[in-house]
């Protein structure tokens, strides 16, 4: 049986609440980790979210695994709420699913990604000027 990336994304979202930008902003203010997985070049082109942890996708699981030797200080336990951010909310769905497989039950992703966050008028920095 062949599985497409669209199938994987759809499966990763089953039964998962994906916060919209305003809700994610409020969750981050209440202590959720907002984790931007976009590559540096993309963040430079699109802008970034002030206060978001930047952990590029290729090292995400190592940095957020509470039992791992390469974890960041914020990875204090499996119950820590994590909201993963990518550009438009697709790669982040897959990344959040991987974190849930590690046992981070509160891992989810930002619906619409950074693009939706910026469109909502929430705080950003480094946005390109027209």
Q: What is the pLDDT of residue 130?
A: 53
Domain count, the chain: 1
Q: Using 50, 70 and 90 to split pLDDT, how confident is the model at 16?
A: very high
User: C-alpha distances in angstroms, 72 versus 69, 75, 112, 114, 129?
Assistant: 9, 6, 26, 22, 33
pLDDT digits 0-9 by tens, 24-52:
999 999 999 999 999 999 999 999 999 99
Instruction: Report the CATH number at residue 48.
Output: 3.40.250.10
Does some domain include residue 124?
no
Q: What is the pLDDT of residue 79?
A: 96
Q: What is the pLDDT of residue 23?
A: 98
Does some domain include residue 21?
no
Q: Using 50, 70 and 90 to split pLDDT, how confident is the model at 1?
A: confident
Q: What is the pLDDT of residue 2?
A: 86
């Amino acid at each position: 049986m062949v599985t497409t990336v669209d199938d994987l994304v759809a499966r990763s979202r089953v039964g998962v609440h994906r916060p919209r930008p305003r809700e994610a902003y409020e969750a981050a203010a209440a202590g959720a980790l907002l984790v931007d997985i976009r590559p540096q070049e993309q963040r430079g082109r699109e802008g970034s979210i002030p206060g978001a942890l930047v952990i590029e996708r290729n090292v995400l699981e190592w940095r957020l695994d509470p039992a791992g030797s390469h974890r960041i200080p914020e990875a204090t336990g499996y119950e820590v709420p994590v909201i993963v951010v990518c550009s438009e909310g697709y790669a982040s769905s897959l990344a959040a699913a991987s974190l849930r497989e590690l046992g981070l039950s509160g891992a989810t992703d930002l619906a619409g990604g950074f693009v939706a966050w910026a469109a909502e008028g929430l705080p950003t920095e480094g946005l390109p000027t027209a």
